[in-house]
Amino acid sequence: MKVLVNIARILVGALFIFSGLVKAIDPLGLTYKMQEFFEVWAREGYLPSFMNMLYDFSFGLSVIMITLEVALGVALLVGWRKKLTAVLLFLLILFFTFLTSYVLFSGKIATCGCFGDCIPLTPVQTFTKDIALLMLIIFILWKQKYIQPLFDNMLPLILVVLALVGTTWLQFHVVKHLPVVDCLPFKKGNDILQLRKMPANAIQDKIDYIFIYEKDGKKQEFNMTKLPDSTWKYVDRKEVLIAKGSNNVPVIKDFILTDSSGTDATENVLGTDKPYYLFFIKDMTEKTSKWSESFTNIWQQANAKQRQVIIITSDTENANKYFNITNNYNVPVYTCDVTAMKTAARANPTLFEMKGAVIVNKFSWADLNKVAVK
């Protein structure tokens, strides 16, 4: 029995540490996923005021959850406070199982983000994983007497504290300096235009169309091969999914750059031959003082070498005012959907060094002083 308990202990502890660290390298990914849950629940009428409040604290909740995952995994492995650790793991896995079951059975959220963006899992896979972990943790709770600390001194506590401090530091570091491991579609070396295309082996959904006509106050449905005569009045049309396709969603599906007239300028912007720079700024509500001096230096270097700096934002009015009226940078400003920008630019703002549609390098606002325009 002791051997079985220790096997379960190693499996659960290692998996919690791994799961936490995979999310810790990009905590904003979990933040946005939690915001998606809170938005859906508020829209469905589940304590909307409370859900909207939680939405505002999503980042803090994400940091706490990720840190707990790693720290509890370490605590289980080293045998620190085994009863408390097992109970907290049980409560945490109950919460995770609730989330994954909601994703699986409601169909209102695509994925739960359990392993971040680096290891995407289907709803079935994540729910199965959590059920297996739940069984293992219940077993550990039941047979916790067989868990012995690896060390008799203060070392287990020290290791748990180091896990807490280290995981928290890592998360705040990557939020400031971009993820240490980039698993997003906009990572260095990727061609944005290529990833916007439909995969070569895509299989489209098979859709049938049902037409609704009315005659003498009675509505009836008809398919495309058997439409009624002219005595019937057309009312509506609906789509019916016959067969689900596969691999039919582009890796980058919502990245569209729009100019001031509302025209899609994505191909024109990304098709530029010369090297250029994209400066992503989600909104202008944050203080500009933390990056304005570095941006001015980059802009001056770019002008000297005839390199264009392009502003990408979801706050066009204020961005135009700041860059082209208040400061007279005379740079083009394009609109992009805020959701797409959350994926493209984890820090606000973020600079892309581009060559054609290929991302050569990425810099957060904290690292703009390292940019040397080529």
| Structure confidence by residue, pLDDT tens digits, 144-188 | 888 888 887 889 999 999 999 999 999 999 999 999 889 899 999
| Structure confidence by residue, pLDDT tens digits, 306-322 | 999 999 998 888 999 99
257 neighbors 269 (Cβ within 8 angstroms): yes
- pLDDT computed for residue 85 by the predictor: 94
Between 6 and 67, the higher pLDDT residue = 67
Sheet holding 233-243, edge to edge: 218-223, 206-215, 233-243
Q: CB neighbours of 35 closer than 8 A, spacing ≥ 6?
A: 55, 58
289: left (phi over 0), alpha (psi -120 to 50) or beta: alpha
Among 30-44, 205-219, 261-275, 327-341, the minimum mean pLDDT is found in 205-219
Structure tokens at 7: 């096997």
Using alpha carbons, list the distances in angstroms from residue 17 to 12, 23, 167. 9, 10, 10
Q: Phi/psi at 354 (nearest 5 deg)?
A: -120, 150
Position 123 pLDDT exceeds 70: yes
CATH H superfamily, domain 266-370? Glutaredoxin (3.40.30.10)
Task: Name the pLDDT band for 202 (thresholds 50, 70, 90).
Answer: low
- pLDDT computed for residue 248 by the predictor: 65
| Structure confidence by residue, pLDDT tens digits, 241-275 | 776 766 667 888 889 999 988 899 999 999 988 89
Domain-wise residue ranges, the chain = 2-177, 206-243, 266-370
Instruction: Give percent of the chain above pLDDT 70.
Output: 97
